[in-house]
Structures are given as structure tokens and as C-alpha cells.
Amino acid sequence: MQYLDNIIFLILLVAGFGLFGKSLLKIYRNIRLGREINRSDRKAERWETMARVAMGQSRMVKRPVAGILHLFVYVGFIIINIELIEIIVDGIFGTHRFLATIFGHTFYGIFTATLEFLALLVIIGVVIFFIRRNFYGVKRLTMKELFGWPKNDANWILIIEFALMVAFFTMNSSDLILQTRGVLAEHGSFPISEMTFVPFLEVFSFDNGFLFGLERAAWWFHFIGILFFMNYLYYSKHLHIILAFPSTWYANLNSYGKFNNLDSVTKEIKLMMDPNADPYAVPAEGDAAEAPSKFGAEDVFDLNQVQLLNAYSCTECGRCTSVCPANITGKKLSPRAILMKTRDRLEEVGRNIDKNGKFEDDGKKLLNDYITKEELWACTTCNACTEACPVLLDPLSIIFEMRRFLVMEQSAAPQELNLMMTNVENNAAPWQYNQADRLNWAKD
């Protein structure tokens, strides 16, 4: 039974990373349900964008308070989990503070002290975020699309991060006391623990056995908590801590809001202009000719893969919705909700595939069942949402594609738009007057 702890640790490690890998593969499969899109151009600019926006958090600090606090939590939590390397080695081989033998006494002391300061910043950040989200009344954090699970999810993440940092300090404090008593070899420097947690523990004069058990309990809690957090990401908006990187790399580098030319439209026009083509012909099975493509998007299958990646990457911060003029004036549209609803529909499709082995028609669509026409037509296409997003997501592109479907597939544009298009068709102008009168304004 000497190696029981090591065996249990290894089983948990393999299971935790295995489940996490399985979740990532499922997300990858779901994203691949969308249409392919080529975003491999301008690679140098894409790497620079990813480094600046995803890693450098350049867009977060446009709102300084939230941006700086997010930087505390993001940088602190990521760097602190470098210690996971040490935990894995110690857990598998039964060593204690393995990195001390690699870094040396002085550098390991600097390393552990830095982790402690970062952990303190994480605690400060998550506490302020929790108060701000639940008691301060920030409008974009109290909108109806966050009622229920989204709000609970955000709170649970903050609580988990707080608990992991407390376990981190408890582990270090117990370790430090045992080091000063000569029970453990002296490794590391723990200034925050020494000023806060150590005095609290010493008040109770705990014996060495209790402190060793406390250190081990905190160590196991920290390790299992990281595995739990990692696998919880699949169900959480905090998946963005991973997917923000590919989302910024594949971001649209051209002008936002610019209509792209549909290949399906080009093919249809060429077909109409070809005197030898039969527009009513149905391609034979195995024929290289393709059936006409659907114009726009009715369901998640009609969106491109970057748009589906965007849906999974949404941080639900609401910056897009807070600057949306349609939402500000009381209309139903929320750009954040567009991405959230797209993700919900994509997850529903994924569960359908898991259950049936392939997608079986469930009688639902993204259009109408999740996103209403009222939301789509409320959009002014001003691009405020895309400019505000801290990770370069593009909810406007999804709105565009669904509008295209309504107009080009269902002829379901609003009356005002139909009138304008009729005027353009008949008068070559949006206004209802004869073409012969177009230059009357210049006569004098």
C-alpha cells in the first residue's frame, strides 16, 4: 500500500485529462458541422492579432477597472497553474516540491513568492468581480439572458477560483510551519502566507501531524480542483480562456459589416445566363454537378465554422449588448444573446448526434426557435458590437446570414425593405419616382 497515493493520483490525472480531451473533441466536431471557410491568409497579422488581443488582453483594458481586474485573474491563474507541473511530478513519484531541485534555492524562492503575490491578486479580483456581478448592479450583467444558468455559472467559476487560491495558501502555510519546525526541508519563499495564514494557524498551536494532514488535504484539493475546473469549462462560458486564442487567430481582418459575395449566388447567376443550362435539372447521383446551395443561414449547419467557434468563445461579458443602439432603445436584440442562442442550438444538435449517431431532424431551427425575426431586423448593422468585443467575435455576421435567408429564401423582408427593393428594381433608386425625373434637381 506504499504507493497507493501515487496510483490514485495517476488514475485521477489520466481520467481528468482524458475527459477534458473528450470534451474538446466534441466541441471540435460540433464546430466542424458548419460550412468551411478559408481564413489562412495574412498569417503574420493573425499571429500578431492573437498575441495582442487574446494573450495581451489589449481590448479588455478599454474599460480600465474591469480590464485590470481581469488581467489579475487571468495572468495570476494561468501562471499559478504552472505549479501543476510540480504537483504532477510530486504526485506520480512521491517527491516534495520537485521544482526546487531544478530551479535551485534562490530562484525557487523567487518563483514561489511570485506565485503568492499573483494568488493574492486573483483573490482580490474574484472577490471584487463577485460583488460587482451580484450587488453592484452593472446593467449588462443583470440582463434577462443571464438569468438562471449563465449567472450561476459565472458565480460558480468565481467561487471555484477563490477556493483554489485559499487551498493554495493553506498548503503553503502548513508547509512553511513544518519547514520552520524542521519536519520538512526548507524550500521556497511564502511572504503572503507568512503574513496572513501562518499567524492564523499558529494561534491554535496545531501539532505536526495535523499540519501535515492539512498540507496534504490542501494539496489534494488544489489538484482535484484544477481537474474539476478544467472539465467544468465544457459546460461554462469560461471555455473562452482556451477558445479565445483560435477565435482571435481566425478573426475577420477585413472591414466589419462588409457584405461578402456568395458563391451560391454567383453560381445561380451563371446558370441563368447559360443558354445551354437547364435550371430545372436535378443532378444525377454521383454527378459532379452540385445542387444549388442555400442562401444565408436557417440553422447552425448553414453558418461557417468560425461563426460557430465564435459562439463557443463568447465570454458573455455583455460589452457588445451594452453599446448596441437597438438594445439601448429597448428593442429585443442583444448581440450577446445571438451568440448564446447559437451556442445553445449547436449544443442541442451535438446531443442529437450523440444520441442517434447522426443528426436526426428534430423539427427545430436556429431561426424562429432560438433567434426571432424581430431580433434580426432590429439590428442597425452599425458594428458597435464587433468593435466592443474583447476577443474579436462577430455576432453581426450571424445576423447578416440569417437576414439573407429570410430575404433570399423566404422573401420575408419587412414591408419597408420590400418597397425599397421594388423601387430599386423599377426605378434604379430607393425612392418612388420615375427614372426620367432623376436629374430634375440639377436643372437650375
Cα separation, 257 vs 326, whole angstroms:
16
Name the nearest CA neighbour of 157 among 216, 270, 74, 236.
236
User: What DSSP state is assigned to residue 442?
Assistant: G
Q: Which of 115-119, 138-142, 162-166 shows the lowest mean pLDDT across its residues?
A: 138-142
More reliable by pLDDT, 369 or 279: 369
More reliable by pLDDT, 277 or 6: 6
Q: Which of 59-68, 225-234, 427-436 shows the lowest mean pLDDT across its residues?
A: 427-436
- Write the pLDDT tens digit of every residue in 169-209: 999 999 999 999 888 888 889 999 999 999 988 888 888 99
Q: Once rounded to an integer, what is the mean pLDDT over residues 106-131? A: 92
Is pLDDT at 65 greater than 90 in this prediction?
no
- Write the pLDDT tens digit of every residue in 241-292: 899 999 999 999 887 777 777 777 787 788 778 887 776 665 555 544 455 5
Q: Once rounded to an integer, what is the mean pLDDT over residues 74-92? A: 84
Do 239 and 313 touch, CB atoms closer than 8 A? yes
Residue-level pLDDT at 283: 58
Show the CA angle centred on residue 206, arms to residues 200 and 211, nearest 5°: 90
Is pLDDT at 10 greater than 50 in this prediction?
yes
Is pLDDT at 228 greater than 50 in this prediction?
yes
pTM (two decimals): 0.86
Is pLDDT at 11 greater than 60 in this prediction?
yes
Average pLDDT of the chain is: 88
Q: Which of 24-28, 129-133, 302-306, 398-402 shows the lowest mean pLDDT across its residues?
A: 129-133
Is pLDDT at 167 greater than 90 in this prediction?
yes
3-state secondary structure of 382: coil
Cα separation, 298 vs 406, whole angstroms:
8
Cα separation, 292 vs 281, whole angstroms:
11
Q: CB neighbours of 115 closer than 8 A, spacing ≥ 6?
A: 79, 80, 82, 83, 168
Is pLDDT at 220 greater than 70 in this prediction?
yes
Please report where in the chains the cell 488582453 appears, as a residue.
57
User: What DSSP state is assigned to residue 360?
Assistant: -
Q: Is the dihedral of CA 258, 347, 160, 165 positive or negative?
A: negative
Q: CB neighbours of 336 closer than 8 A, spacing ≥ 6?
A: 143, 145, 314, 316, 317, 318, 320, 321, 395
Please report where in the chains the cell 446551395 appears, as a residue.
293
Q: Which of 327-336, 341-350, 407-416 shows the lowest mean pLDDT across its residues?
A: 407-416
β-bridge partners, 371: 367
Cβ-in-10-Å burial (0-12, 13-18, 19+) of 63 comes to middle
- Percent of the chain past pLDDT 90, that is, above it, reads 55
3-state secondary structure of 304: strand
Q: Which of 48-52, 204-208, 245-249, 427-431 shows the lowest mean pLDDT across its residues?
A: 427-431
Cα separation, 46 vs 25, whole angstroms:
24
Residue-level pLDDT at 288: 43
Q: Once rounded to an integer, what is the mean pLDDT over residues 119-147? A: 89
Length of the chain: 444
Cα separation, 139 vs 134, whole angstroms:
11
Q: How confident is the model at residue 23 (pLDDT cuts 50, 70, 90)?
A: very high
Name the nearest CA neighbour of 69 among 78, 81, 60.
60
Residue-level pLDDT at 329: 94
Cα separation, 182 vs 407, whole angstroms:
77
Cα separation, 304 vs 32, whole angstroms:
9
Q: Is the dihedral of CA 431, 414, 305, 395 positive or negative?
A: positive
Residue-level pLDDT at 290: 52
Q: What residue ranges in 160-239 does DSSP mark as E strands?
A: none
Q: How confident is the model at residue 368 (pLDDT cuts 50, 70, 90)?
A: very high
More reliable by pLDDT, 10 or 429: 10
- Name the percent of the chain in helix, strand, coil, to the closest 5: 70, 0, 30
Residue-level pLDDT at 289: 47
Cα separation, 280 vs 255, whole angstroms:
37
Name the nearest CA neighbour of 26 among 290, 239, 178, 285.
239
Cell of 223: 489538484
Cell of 216: 496534504
Q: Report how far apart, in Å, the C-alpha atoms of 158 and of each of 73, 86, 130, 154, 274 are.
A: 10, 24, 7, 7, 62
Q: Is the dihedral of CA 380, 381, 386, 387 positive or negative?
A: negative
Is pLDDT at 2 greater than 70 in this prediction?
no
Residue-level pLDDT at 280: 67
- Percent of the chain past pLDDT 70, that is, above it, reads 96
